[in-house]
Every structure is written in C-alpha cells, then in structure tokens.
Structure 1
Amino acid sequence: MNTAFATASTSVLGRAEAWLDARGKGAWIAATVAGFIVFWPVGLALLAYMIWSKRMFSGKCASRGASKFRNTPFKSSGNRAFDAYKAETLRRLKEEQDSFESFLERLREAKDKAEFDQFMEDRAKRPATDADADSDRPAPNATTQA
C-alpha cells in the first residue's frame, strides 16, 4: 500500500510540476504565494524546491533573456549584400564614435585649461595672504635688546 500511495503521489506531484513548468516562472511564483497564504510551510517548501531545482534561475524566462544575445552585430544574415552594408555601416559608426570621443577629449582639455587659467588669474588678483604678512613680523617669543 505504501508503494501505491508513493506512486500515486509522485504522479500527481509530477503532473503538477509539469503543469507549472508549462506555464512558466510566473505560475511557480503564484503557486508559492498561494502556498504561503493557505499554509506557510507549503509556501516555504515550494520556495525551497524552486531554489533547489534551479527553477528560479532557469526555464522559459532565462531562455528568453539569452535570446537577446543571439543576434550579435557580427552574425551573418546569409545575404552577402546586406552583410556588406551592415559591415560598412558598423565601420562608419565606429569611426564616428571615435571622432566624437576625440572631440569630447579636446573639449575636456579646453575646459580644464580654461579653469586652470581662471584659477591663476584669481590667484594673481587676490591680496597677499596673512602668511606673507606674518613673515615680516618678529616671532612672539623673540626678545629684543636695545
């Protein structure tokens, strides 16, 4: 009898698992939330099972995310004319990016130079500091003899 119960239980759990897998990660999350609402140990067990079986980090959602990287700019489309056009466009865009980056670098250098020049002008205009004035005075502990 124990074997019959285990087989029936496994098949029910197996079918439930397959049903949830067919509906994706959202169904697993909904089942976990429902488990927490109905009886918290059930929700906790589902959460532990999802983490242990790596369902949280794989499945349909993970394969959708990986598909973003399948169409890289260097993948051939199979059409030589289009691939040549794409390569030329990418080369032109790379040149434009390089020239823009050098333009930005020149702008930064010009801005830095202007800021430094402004600092030097402000420094030349400001009056002598107290440190310069103090150097002319005798030290407070110095004794003078007449």
Structure 2
Amino acid sequence: MNTATSQTPMALDHRPGFFARAESWLDERGKGAWIAAMVVLFIFFWPIGLALLAYMIWSKRMFNSSCKSMTRARSRHMGRTSGNSAFDAYKAETLRRLEEEQDNFEAFLKRLRDAKDKAEFDQFMNDRARANDTRDDDTSPASA
C-alpha cells in the first residue's frame, strides 16, 4: 500500500468537519455572511458560487435566517424590564397576543396550502379518470 492511498481516507474524513465548521461560522454571522460568501465565490469561481446558492435555497437559509435573528433579538428584549410594571404587563400581553395571532395565521396558511394541494390532486385524479374513460371507449369492441 503506497502513501497516497493511505492518506486519501484520512483527508476525506477531515472534509465534513471543515464544511460543518464553515457552515456554523457563517450561521453565527447571519444571512449577510452567506450572501457575501456566495458573491465572492461567484467572482472567483462561478460554479462553486452557483452550488452555494443552490445549497442556500435548498437548506432554506435564504428565507429562515432573518426569522431566527428576529427571534433572538425579541428574546433578548423579553427579559428586560422598563421599571414600570404597568408597561411591562402591557408589553408582555401585547407580545403574547401577537405571537398567538402569528400562530393562528401560520395555521391558516397551512390549511390554505393543504386545501390547494387537495384541490390540485382531485383535479389530477379527475383528469386521469376522464382520460382512462376516453381511452377505454376508443378501444372497446362495440365501437369497431
């Protein structure tokens, strides 16, 4: 066994660690870091930039990062008190109500998407059944 063969598995084992570290490093810095990395990669070697863009879209990093940072910012401010107990109670109630409204709206959107998916599936099945009925009528011995 030569040295090149013995070093290859070790190098492959090291690669996922590098990518995981790079991914967590970019995640810590937010969506802007991901976009900057993509632009730099497009400038130096566009296929890798395109691959990074595809990964960002596939992993939903382009869409969820801002929500995560807003949640972090909100949780940072939730623990603070203003010193005015009436205002703090009002703020807590308003935030609770807004979160409840957001949950209700997200549930509504899910029901809406599910209903649309069901309608599209039902339409597909009806079209398929009509196509089968038409084909059966054309190939039946009575029509010959």
Q: Structure 1-normalised TM-score?
A: 0.44
Report the structure, 1 or 2, having the larger helix content.
Answer: 2
Greater Cα radius of gyration, structure 1 or 2 = 1
Q: Structure 2-normalised TM-score?
A: 0.44
